[in-house]
Chains A and B, each alone.
Chain A
Amino acid sequence: MSDRRRILVPPTARPLTFAPAPTESSQDSSSSSKTEIYLRTSLFPDASGSAYLEHQKHKILVLVNGPRPQRMSFSSTAKLLVDVKFLPVSSDAHVLGIQQGGGFDTDLEKSLADYIYASLVPAIRLERYPKSGISVSVVVVSGPPRWKGLVKQVTAACVTTAGAALVDAGIEVLDVVTACAVKVSKEGAVSLDLDETSEDSESVDTVARGVISSMASRDEITGVWVDDDTTSESASSRSIEGEALVAVLKAANSGAVEIRKLVNAVLARSLDELLVEKKGKKKITKRSAESMDS
């Protein structure tokens, strides 16, 4: 008879221990601290898959649950659900939400979720999971101190983390989705938007910002979001058409390919860890079986 009076802890719960100081292995290949990206997968044993990314001041956690059976209605493919949450402590995001007339779910959260959904859906083989649901929850633990102009950067980070978390959950995907943000300067030069901080984003040099999600090894783009990001004073904005758009897409795609290398390395390492862990477990079970015999 199980104990029904108390809410039991999850079976895999462990006592709280503090991790040792980060070793060198946790810092991945990068030159300057501004462009440094830290990514880790399988942090939460309770979720089917999880990933955590740190880039500048953004700290993003993605939990993937599923595929879980859905009893309500029949569907021949899986349903993907994406929700984004900013923690109240994650910078001035709440201020932004209030300004846009949002309540608890801010409009920014919803439009981020919309874009992440649109970027992930083409990559997932939803037809392999009929009658089930896959939920992706993105938690922005910490964002930039000022959001103005940095939304695209955070979006890119969210998509990349979610892509890694989906793989960690063992969900069948066509390819890992990674994303990269770009900015277009007044002269029309396109550069990767990796190193910009809230202080830099105030400059009037940038006229447009965008983020591209792509499946690098298939060379396919799954999502585009380009906006004219000028402060409203300089209304003489550039058009993002034709050649300019192609330049933006190419630059962002090459950025996404670079980020893909990092994601690949992280995923490969987590796979190694998983294999080692499994071997260890087998040994333990063998040993316990032996001890039982004796």
Chain B
Amino acid sequence: MPLSLSEESYLASSLSLRPPCRPDGRDQHQFRPLDASAGILPATNGSARIRLCDGGECIVGIKAEVVESRKEDVALVEVQCDIAGVQSNSPLHTFLCTTLETALRNTLPASRLSIIHRYTYKLFIDGIILDHVSHPLTLFSMTVYLALLDTRLPKLIPSADVASTTTSTSSSDQPIGLPQFESDWQESVPLCDKAWSPPLVQLAVLAGKNVFVDPTGEEAGVGDGAIVVSWHQGKVVGLRTVNTRDSSKQVFSASRDVTEALTRVVS
């Protein structure tokens, strides 16, 4: 339900107070409680579901496909999402998918997906947002993050590659160089380990001099503007301003506002 003008101005002024006062009593850098589970879809390489306390729910499944890596700049990650109640090809879709896709492409080294010289994995990340009250970017990104942590890739049998190149006997039934995988799923290897963890993308709303993480729909509606922060292995790797409403007064008189946003810790 849209807020009336007086409600809006009340919320806007209470958010720009110092210290600010959020309607749900949260701290500026505090997330809402959420319910998360991973590995819920058995037919995928990795999957996750996250439910927020406001009713927002998102399910993400990841499938890996073996493709030939002929060209250098072939896209190895494809993100698609479906939002209940929103037409596919709406600006929100594009925004979610491109933001996640660029964040992943910029941080995921190609070596992590390559199998043997000519073949590589391609990740298809499909999400469905069953319901959302607040902006779905944070929810979607967290679910993708969890699903990527859950993703397991089948173990490669090393002998297949070596045998086909050294002895020609095995090549009669198998084409040369085609990767062979262990059929036992227990042997599969996780995509993420200590060396690489997936990026997270968060939406933060600015109101006056304050920055809020995990904004509710109302907070985003009255805020002066928003920034999208991509975060990867303890570092900020991307930063971008977006508008959450039409007539924005969003300006940064000094760089202080932005740096302030980055000091917060992602839970």
Q: Which of A110, A148, A241 contacts B262 (CB 8 A)?
A: A241
Are the C-beta atoms of A222 and B250 separated by less than 8 Å?
yes
User: Taking CB as reference atom, which chain B residue is nearest A98?
Assistant: B75
Asked whether any CB of chain B lies closer than 8 Å to the CB of A238, the reply is yes
With A220-B252, A229-B106 as known contacts, state yes or no: A121 contacts B94, CB within 8 Å.
no
Q: Which of B80, B242, B259 contacts A246 (CB 8 A)?
A: B259
User: Taking CB as reference atom, which chain A residue is nearest B251?
Assistant: A220
Best-buried of B91, B105, B106, B232 by chain A (most CB within 10 Å): B106
Are the C-beta atoms of B259 and A241 separated by less than 8 Å?
yes
In the complex, what distance in Å separates the CA atom of A170 from the CA atom of B240? Answer: 29
Closest approach, in angstroms, between the C-beta of A35 and any C-beta of chain B? Answer: 25
Chain A residues whose C-beta falls within 8 Å of the C-beta of B227 in the assembled complex: 224
Best-buried of B73, B105, B243 by chain A (most CB within 10 Å): B243
Interface stretch, picked from A61-69, A111-119, A263-271, is: A111-119
In the complex, what distance in Å separates the CA atom of A51 from the CA atom of B41? Answer: 53
Are the C-beta atoms of B262 and A242 separated by less than 8 Å?
yes
In the complex, what distance in Å separates the CA atom of A223 from the CA atom of B241? Answer: 6
Asked whether any CB of chain B lies closer than 8 Å to the CB of A24, the reply is no
Asked whether any CB of chain B lies closer than 8 Å to the CB of A227, the reply is yes
In the complex, what distance in Å separates the CA atom of A242 from the CA atom of B259? Answer: 6
In the complex, what distance in Å separates the CA atom of A249 from the CA atom of B109? Answer: 28
Asked whether any CB of chain A lies closer than 8 Å to the CB of B117, the reply is no
In the complex, what distance in Å separates the CA atom of A242 from the CA atom of B167? Answer: 58
With A100-B101, A110-B98 as known contacts, state yes or no: A115 contacts B255, CB within 8 Å.
no
Chain A positions 208 through 252: 1 when the CB is less than 8 Å from some CB of chain B, otherwise 0? 001000010011111111111110110101111110011001100
Interface of B is mostly: mixed
Q: Which B residues from 215 to 267 make CB contacts under 8 A with A?
A: 225, 227, 230, 232, 234-243, 246-253, 255, 258-259, 262-263
Are the C-beta atoms of A245 and B259 separated by less than 8 Å?
yes
With A118-B242, A240-B236, A245-B258 as known contacts, state yes or no: A224 contacts B247, CB within 8 Å.
no
Asked whether any CB of chain A lies closer than 8 Å to the CB of B185, the reply is no
In the complex, what distance in Å separates the CA atom of A75 from the CA atom of B258? Answer: 31
Are the C-beta atoms of A232 and B107 separated by less than 8 Å?
yes
User: Taking CB as reference atom, which chain A residue is nearest B106?
Assistant: A228
Interface residues on A, range: 35 or more
Are the C-beta atoms of A228 and B238 separated by less than 8 Å?
yes
Chain B residues whose C-beta falls within 8 Å of the C-beta of A238 in the assembled complex: 235
Are the C-beta atoms of B259 and A111 separated by less than 8 Å?
no
In the complex, what distance in Å separates the CA atom of A269 from the CA atom of B175? Answer: 70
Are the C-beta atoms of A110 and B251 separated by less than 8 Å?
no
Chain A residues whose C-beta falls within 8 Å of the C-beta of B105 in the assembled complex: 232
Q: Which A residues from 7 to 36 make CB contacts under 8 A with B?
A: none
Q: Which of B102, B106, B251, B255 contacts A249 (CB 8 A)?
A: B255
Asked whether any CB of chain B lies closer than 8 Å to the CB of A101, the reply is yes
User: Taking CB as reference atom, which chain B residue is nearest A80?
Assistant: B246
Asked whether any CB of chain B lies closer than 8 Å to the CB of A138, the reply is no
Asked whether any CB of chain B lies closer than 8 Å to the CB of A145, the reply is no
Closest approach, in angstroms, between the C-beta of A204 and any C-beta of chain B? Answer: 14
Closest approach, in angstroms, between the C-beta of A89 and any C-beta of chain B? Answer: 21
Chain B residues whose C-beta falls within 8 Å of the C-beta of A224 in the assembled complex: 227, 239-241, 252, 258
With A107-B94, A107-B98, A226-B239 as known contacts, state yes or no: A99 contacts B74, CB within 8 Å.
yes
In the complex, what distance in Å separates the CA atom of A197 from the CA atom of B101? Answer: 25
9 chain-A/chain-B pairs, Cβ below 8 angstroms: A110-B98, A114-B91, A121-B247, A226-B240, A227-B240, A232-B106, A239-B235, A239-B237, A245-B255
Given contacts A107-B97, A222-B241, list 9 more A-B pairs with CB under 8 A.
A107-B94, A117-B243, A221-B251, A222-B250, A225-B239, A228-B232, A233-B109, A235-B109, A242-B262
Residues of A within 8 A of B (CB): 75, 77, 79-80, 99-101, 107, 110-111, 114-115, 117-119, 121-122, 126-127, 148, 210, 215, 218-230, 232-233, 235, 237-242, 245-246, 249-250
